[in-house]
Amino acid sequence: MFEQIFVENITEIFLLAVGASFIQRTTGFGFGIFIMTLLPFLMPSYGEATALSGLLAFTTSLIASIKYRRFITWRRLIPILSIFLITSTIAISVLSKMENGTIRFILGFILIFVSIWFAFLNKRIRFGTTLPYQLGAGSVSGLMGGFFGMHGPPAVLYFISCEKDKEHYMGMIQTYAVITNVTMLIVRFYNGYVTPVVWTSYLYGLAGLVIGILAGNWAYNRIPNRLFTYFVYGYIGISGLIIFLTA
């Protein structure tokens, strides 16, 4: 089984890593949404697929968070991270007991709706930087990350509304992604999802990350600030459509 997985699926894992890292580097999120459309079919279990997605996403975000570290405001980051730790741990712990088809269907619909709503009303909608907003975004992000390996959208909507430009947004969301992925990886390791198959797949995926990050960096630098929010909202909508159709 182990040899068969990598003889047949090494190219698919590599290409998925290229596409997912390109999206993550360009928009600040979306790695898990993109890669988890196909990765569960290439790995021995759904839990191992989320573990591999988390490892690769962590590596992609770490590189970007180092680059944008001077744009990080820790007092706005720590509360949302704290509640994420609690909700994602609970979600991962009950993952094996969960029927996710119906929930993915609902999740896809919600993301499509939210992307359209924010795209047309983003000038009037502003999330505050107060504790209730931070706890709400962190809670939903933790549940989505634990269950689906895609915790970006709630945090994206919060940070892109609060931060003054795309550099501050990128610094905050990538640092958030680094810390949250580390948290979920520890819990997944404890639950037995980080297996030798996952580590071997990760090594193959690293080559794809290099290509995707370089291409994403080129694209990111050419998106004007005034269009960046619409670009992000658009990908949230596409993400919802992908989840909706693959539920």
**What was the pLDDT predicted at 18?**
94
CA distance 66 to 126: 27
**What was the pLDDT predicted at 3?**
46
Task: Give the mean pLDDT per block of 10 residues along the chain (247 residues).
Answer: 58 91 85 80 84 92 91 88 87 64 65 67 59 83 74 80 85 90 86 89 92 91 77 75 71
Placement of tokens 């991270």 in the chain: 81
**What was the pLDDT predicted at 73?**
87
SS (H, E, C) 7-37: HHHHHHHHHHHHHHHHHHHHHCCCHHHHHCC
Q: Please, are residues 21 and 56 in contact by the beta-carbon 8 Å criterion?
A: yes
Residues 6+ apart with CB under 8 A from 246: 37, 104
Q: For the packed helices 152-162 and 166-190, what is the interaxial angle rounded to 10 degrees? A: 150
**What was the pLDDT predicted at 134?**
83
**Phi then psi dihedrals of residue 158, to 5 deg:** -70, -55
**What was the pLDDT predicted at 213?**
93
